[in-house]
């Protein structure tokens, strides 16, 4: 029983980090129609900046989360205003451009922080374990699960229940109509993109509690995010959450029960979903 | 519109021309040497002609952190020699192996055919070594490993296996776990690649020689993001022997081990150098008490090592770790060239290698008849000393790294 609960929690915490990575990308791809392959690199940038604040300068961990998010948001602003706004609806160009930014951001990070990995870090108050009905479980993982759930609820509310969420969705369905109604869609797109980049950067610091920071995480996290979006469905926060938790739990039990298949578990799930339900579990039709 | 079409047409034609001409550009290049022809030694070559030393290091991919560190060691060694050996200038050519066997082989071919290099330091990764083995042997390139080598390449007779082969190095870890930790059963966790199997096999070899039993073996992909599920599945045993190829993987495993909340077997890590001194400081108390095998211990009190550490710290502002390996290899290459009077032909270098005896920061260095280095192996424990987290030597296995399969 302890084995099942412990791996379930491991899967949930891993899945929540995956959700934090994928949530912003899901919004950008599904709602704005932009393929931003630099999303993982923004996650990494946030993680490195967070490490500088929390470990190198010994400041508050939660300050590091905010500053990491702001750094990624700023980079997002640069990418969107400087380049992507000229390439709306041009998917090939978006892919090439943002993949180029993966290399640029990765090399800038290598240049500033070097290639040496940074050890996982957290707030001193979160070190150690909590007793969950006899099962000792790390506090950091419980915090990651809680933050992921809170973000999922917040994003769902923002996307489905607010006026700005409605404007964004309407803009993607009929750009001309929404602009004809006097709404500045360009500005809304910019804010959504920066917001998604902020989430990626903040997620980088939150995820660093479990994964640390290292120089190739930009591509690794991008791959994770794309798998989550394919499994959960494009453009849906609920889909990203479902996909992330499903992948997280299957990955945890896969590693524990069939470690020799660990390299493929995520991809097996993705292939099955693509065959059975190509639009993903809860995909939104764009 | 017409102008646009014309521009498109001329662009396409230009592209076609470039594509058509490219093969001929290659054909016009100087022909690659078919076979390396040794110069009749011992007459030294003219001073103006540089000896080219190539390196295959990792500057990108999952272990991108290691390339710059190895380069630091090589550059420091060559600077100490004023980039000269036996009166000939040395030219260093650096290539990125990219942690990819295919790329590693391509870069070695480039070093040999384009640059005329026949002495190469690297590659690091076991799969990369296996990929370049036949080519390096065919071209008679004197090639080195950096942190141990894959045994099959020993047969080629042109590999400098430093500090030794993977199995030879870790055999003593198996002995230590059995004799000193008193373990009779172990679980192993290793990185799922050729080198990972080599290291774990070495520890298992030594452990089983003593009569120990392996109850479970787990192989984790390089770059595993979360080790908690693996730790949760570890079966009951006396010790958990771990080899992970990168510091970030080893750090995540240690975190999962420390936070598991379970009663787990005692952790023993192969190659503690995957943790840099900076990482040890970041871990803090979480790493105190970790027992590990080590090839090089920076704070070992020895005049040559103390001087090396002082110089390294003055130059790079930190203490050395794996940089010692590439430093010693570069020094070794210079010593070989000195011994041959600057003759860099393989047929002169190889006998010089087998006759070489050097004192290095790591300890005494010599080679067996297969080119496998005989070096000291250290067992260390991480301890806190005056606020620093440092390795402390618990046991030394002196120059005992002969590969057991050649005994």
ipTM of the complex: 0.84
CB within 8 Å of A80: residues ≥ 6 apart: A189, A190, A193, A194
Residues 27-66 of chain B whose Cβ lies under 8 A from any Cβ of chain A? 59-62, 64-66
| Cα Rg, chain A, nearest whole Å | 19
Q: Is B267 helix (H, G, I), strand (E, B) or coil?
A: strand
Question: Which of B219, B221, B246 is opposite residue A117, by nearest beta carbon?
Answer: B246
Are A241 and A77 in contact by the 8 Å Cβ rule? The answer is: no
Chain A residues in contact with B261 by the CB 8 A cut-off are: 129, 135-138
Q: Stretch B97-115: mean pLDDT, rounded?
A: 95
The answer to whether residue B31 scores a pLDDT higher than 60 is no
B281 touches chain A (CB under 8 A): no
Are B220 and A262 in contact by the 8 Å Cβ rule? The answer is: yes
Bridge partners (DSSP) of residue B149 are B165
Q: Which residue has the higher pLDDT, A285 or A286?
A: A285
| DSSP letters spanning B132-175 | HHHHHHHTT-EEE-SS-B-GGGGGGS-EEBSS-BHHHHHHHHHH
Question: Which of B64, B224, B225 is opposite residue A215, by nearest beta carbon?
Answer: B64
A249 touches chain B (CB under 8 A): no
The answer to whether residue B13 scores a pLDDT higher than 90 is no
What does the domain layout of chain A look like in residue ranges? 21-218
- Dist CA B351 CA A206 (whole Å): 56
Tell me what percent of the residues of chain B surpass a pLDDT of 70: 87
Tell me what percent of the residues of chain A surpass a pLDDT of 90: 62
Residues 195-214 of chain A whose Cβ lies under 8 A from any Cβ of chain B? 210-212, 214
Going by pLDDT thresholds of 50, 70 and 90, the confidence category of residue B394 is very high
Could you give the angle at the alpha carbon of A252 between the alpha carbons of A48 and B271, nearest 5°? 60
Output the pLDDT for position A94. Answer: 93
User: Per the CB < 8 Å rule, is A115 touching B220?
Assistant: no
The answer to whether residue B42 scores a pLDDT higher than 70 is no
What ranges make up the beta strands (E) of A57-165? Answer: 129-132, 135-138
Chain B nearest CA to A6, separation (Å): 7
A19 touches chain B (CB under 8 A): no
B248 touches chain A (CB under 8 A): yes
Q: Stretch B99-111: mean pLDDT, rounded?
A: 95
A253 touches chain B (CB under 8 A): yes
Q: Which domains does chain B have, with CATH numbers?
A: 51-163+302-374 (3.40.50.2300), 167-294+377-406 (3.40.50.2300)
Structure tokens at B276: 């840099």
User: Per the CB < 8 Å rule, is A14 touching B225?
Assistant: yes
Output the pLDDT for position B231. Answer: 93
Bridge partners (DSSP) of residue A171 are none
Find the range with the poorest average confidence among A111-120, B42-51, B249-258, B289-298.
B42-51
Structure tokens at B11: 């662009």
The answer to whether residue B69 scores a pLDDT higher than 60 is yes
The answer to whether residue B23 scores a pLDDT higher than 50 is no
A92 touches chain B (CB under 8 A): no
Are B385 and B357 in contact by the 8 Å Cβ rule? The answer is: no
User: Per the CB < 8 Å rule, is A252 touching B252?
Assistant: no
Pairing type for strands B88-96 and B291-294 reads unpaired
Are A3 and B232 in contact by the 8 Å Cβ rule? The answer is: yes
User: Per the CB < 8 Å rule, is B259 touching A140?
Assistant: yes
B195-224: pLDDT as tens digits: 899 899 999 999 999 999 999 999 999 889
Chain A interface disruption, residue of B72, B197, B216, B228, most A CBs within 10 A: B228
Q: Which residue has the higher pLDDT, B339 or B22?
A: B339
Name the burial class of residue A223, with classes exposed (0-12), middle (13-18) and buried (19+) by CB atoms within 10 angstroms of its CB.
middle
CB within 8 Å of A101: residues ≥ 6 apart: A37, A38, A41, A79
Output the pLDDT for position B5. Answer: 44
Going by pLDDT thresholds of 50, 70 and 90, the confidence category of residue B44 is low
B223 touches chain A (CB under 8 A): yes
Output the pLDDT for position B14. Answer: 39
CB within 8 Å of B9: residues ≥ 6 apart: none
Identify which of A9, A3, A5, A6 has the alpha carbon closest to the alpha carbon of residue A245. Answer: A9
B202 touches chain A (CB under 8 A): no
Output the pLDDT for position A132. Answer: 84
- Dist CA B376 CA B400 (whole Å): 7
Using N-to-C axis directions, what is the helix angle for B66-80 and B303-316, rounded to 10°? Answer: 110
DSSP 8-state class, residue B390? E
Chain A residues in contact with B192 by the CB 8 A cut-off are: 263
User: Per the CB < 8 Å rule, is A117 touching B279?
Assistant: yes
Q: Stretch B76-85: mean pLDDT, rounded?
A: 97
Residues 158-187 of chain A whose Cβ lies under 8 A from any Cβ of chain B? none
Q: What's the 3-state SS for A150-174?
A: HHHHHHHHHHHHCHHHHHHHHHHHC
Could you give the angle at the alpha carbon of B176 between the alpha carbons of B173 and B177, nearest 5°? 85
Average pLDDT over chain A reads 90
Task: For residue B258, report the phi and psi dihedrals to the nearest 5 degrees.
Answer: -65, -30
Question: Which of B69, B220, B251 is opposite residue A120, by nearest beta carbon?
Answer: B251
């Amino acid at each position: 029983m302890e084995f099942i609960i412990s791996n379930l929690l491991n899967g949930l915490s891993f899945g929540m980090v995956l959700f934090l990575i994928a949530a912003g990308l899901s919004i950008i791809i599904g709602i704005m129609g932009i393929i931003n392959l630099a999303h993982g690199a923004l996650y990494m940038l946030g993680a490195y900046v967070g490490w500088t604040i929390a470990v190198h300068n010994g400041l508050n961990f939660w300050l590091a989360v905010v500053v990491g998010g702001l750094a990624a948001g700023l980079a997002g602003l640069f990418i969107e205003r400087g380049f992507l706004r000229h390439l709306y609806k041009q998917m090939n160009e978006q892919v090439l451009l943002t993949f180029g930014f993966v290399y640029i951001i990765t090399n800038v990070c290598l240049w500033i922080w070097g290639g040496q990995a940074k050890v996982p870090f957290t707030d001193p108050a979160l070190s150690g374990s909590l007793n969950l009905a006899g099962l000792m479980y790390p506090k950091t993982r419980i915090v990651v699960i809680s933050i992921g759930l809170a973000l999922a609820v917040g994003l769902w509310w923002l996307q489905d229940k607010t006026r700005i969420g409605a404007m964004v969705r309407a803009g993607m369905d009929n750009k001309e109509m929404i602009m004809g109604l006097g709404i500045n869609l360009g500005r809304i797109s910019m804010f959504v993109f920066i917001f998604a980049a902020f989430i990626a950067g903040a997620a980088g610091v939150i995820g660093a509690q479990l994964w640390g920071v290292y120089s190739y995480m930009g591509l690794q996290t991008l791959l994770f995010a794309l798998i989550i979006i394919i499994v959960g469905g494009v453009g849906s926060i609920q889909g990203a959450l479902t996909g992330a938790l499903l992948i997280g739990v299957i990955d945890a039990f896969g590693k524990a029960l069939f470690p020799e298949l660990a390299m493929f578990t995520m991809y097996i799930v993705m292939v099955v979903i693509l065959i059975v339900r190509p639009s993903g579990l809860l995909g939104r039709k764009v | 519109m017409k102008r646009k079409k014309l521009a498109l047409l001329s662009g396409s034609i230009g592209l076609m021309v470039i594509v058509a001409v490219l093969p001929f550009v290659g054909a016009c290049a100087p022909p690659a040497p078919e076979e390396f022809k040794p110069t009749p030694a011992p007459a030294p070559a003219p001073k103006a002609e540089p000896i080219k030393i190539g390196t295959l290091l990792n500057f990108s991919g999952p272990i991108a952190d290691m390339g710059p560190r190895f380069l630091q060691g090589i550059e420091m060694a060559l600077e100490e020699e004023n980039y000269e050996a036996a009166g000939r200038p040395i030219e260093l050519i650096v290539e990125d192996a990219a942690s990819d066997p295919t790329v590693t082989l391509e870069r070695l071919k480039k070093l040999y055919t384009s640059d005329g290099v026949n002495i190469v330091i690297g590659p690091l990764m076991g799969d990369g070594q296996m990929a370049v083995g036949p080519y390096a042997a065919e071209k008679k390139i004197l090639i080195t490993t950096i942190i141990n080598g894959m045994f099959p390449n020993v047969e080629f007779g042109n590999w400098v296996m430093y500090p030794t082969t993977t199995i030879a190095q870790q055999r003593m870890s198996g002995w230590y776990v059995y004799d000193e930790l008193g373990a009779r059963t172990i679980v192993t966790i290793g990185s799922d690649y050729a080198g990972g199997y080599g290291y774990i096999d070495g520890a298992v070899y030594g452990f089983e020689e003593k009569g120990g039993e392996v109850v479970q073996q787990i192989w984790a992909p390089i770059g595993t993001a979360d080790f908690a599920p693996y730790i949760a599945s570890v079966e009951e045993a006396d010790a958990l022997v771990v080899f992970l190829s990168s510091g970030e993987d080893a750090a995540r495993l240690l975190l999962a081990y420390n936070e598991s909340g379970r009663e787990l077997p005692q952790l023993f890590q192969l190659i503690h150098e995957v943790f840099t001194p900076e990482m040890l400081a970041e871990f803090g108390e979480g790493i105190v008490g970790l027992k590990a095998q080590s090839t090089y211990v920076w704070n070992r009190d020895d005049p040559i090592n103390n001087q090396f550490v002082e110089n390294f710290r003055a130059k790079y502002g930190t203490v050395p770790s794996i940089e010692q390996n590439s430093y010693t290899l570069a020094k070794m290459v210079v010593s070989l060239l000195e011994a041959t009077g600057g003759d860099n032909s393989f047929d002169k270098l190889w006998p010089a290698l087998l006759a070489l005896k050097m004192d290095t920061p790591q300890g005494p260095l010599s080679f067996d008849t297969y080119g496998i280095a005989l070096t000291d192996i250290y067992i260390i424990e991480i301890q806190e000393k005056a606020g620093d987290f440092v390795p402390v030597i618990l046991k030394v296995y002196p120059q005992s790294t002969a590969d057991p399969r050649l005994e």
